[in-house]
Structure 1
Amino acid sequence: MLAINSWRKLKSLSWSELILLIQAFLLLPLVAFGIKCFGFRRLYEKIANFSFSQTQVEKKDGIKQARAIAKIIEVASRYGLYKPNCLQKSLLLWWLLQQRNIVTELRIGVRKKAEVLEAHAWVEYQGCVLNDRSDVDQVFAPFAGAILPVEVKTL
């Protein structure tokens, strides 16, 4: 039954959504590999300067597109062969949105649980959490500002 429902959902995707899902399946392990090989900061800096789109996205369309892309990345992470962590998913989401000129913030927060310091990453668009629960900033104390690449070249 689960496979039939999954197949029906897959068939209901538009071509652009299907292409994005395939990209997510392929890019999630590459992001993980990049973080492992180059470190988060260096990879973040490199992909921040790599963008395809030059068009502006209207506010109303931005949140709708951002949520749709976040949902597709979540599907890819749930059903793909590679199981990414929150930083890997958030970094890919942030980058795919940047490509579409949807300006978002990559956020990282921490909490102490049973004497262990835990960290968590998520993406926000105009203060709305895209890829996590809306109260994630209550569970994990976010750093004072968004995590920004060291050098971002403007066009």
Structure 2
Amino acid sequence: MFRIFFITLCLVIPALPAAAQHAPAVYNKKLADSLGADAYGMKGYVLVILKTGPAVMKDKKITDSLFAGHLANIGRLAHEGKLVVAGPMGKNDKQYRGIFILAVKDKTEAEGLLDTDPAVTAGLLAAELYDWYGSAALPAYLGVHEQIEQKKP
């Protein structure tokens, strides 16, 4: 009797984690469609790595003005739903300065948006563009961020 119990236990226990992983998901088709999600809940974006550009500005007022325009452009693109992630990078040996994740159909559209950034067009920042596949829910965090943000840049 103990032998049968032991064999049954040995067969059932390894199957438990697999059963738990197949719990039914709470799928919301309306939300998935509104976010442009594919069957995996994902979609394509363009990842932009901003790095130090070739231009050198000696006039601090001009540099400050260009970066103020850069921040204003970030806000505008986020408001339009085109920019879903933006942020600076810490000091590094690759001269990477920050990233954007753009909710656009392709790199050509992304390049058009970068042409609206004064720091990029002035050459203070240069951009590397990559196709990126991520969660379609990524833009949804922006509404939460507004609720936790005490200061605007």
**TM-score, normalization by structure 2:** 0.24
Q: Which has the larger radius of gyration?
A: 2
Considering fraction of residues, name the structure with more strand.
Answer: 2
| Higher RCO (CA 8 Å, separation ≥ 6 residues) | 2
Select the structure that is richer in helix.
1
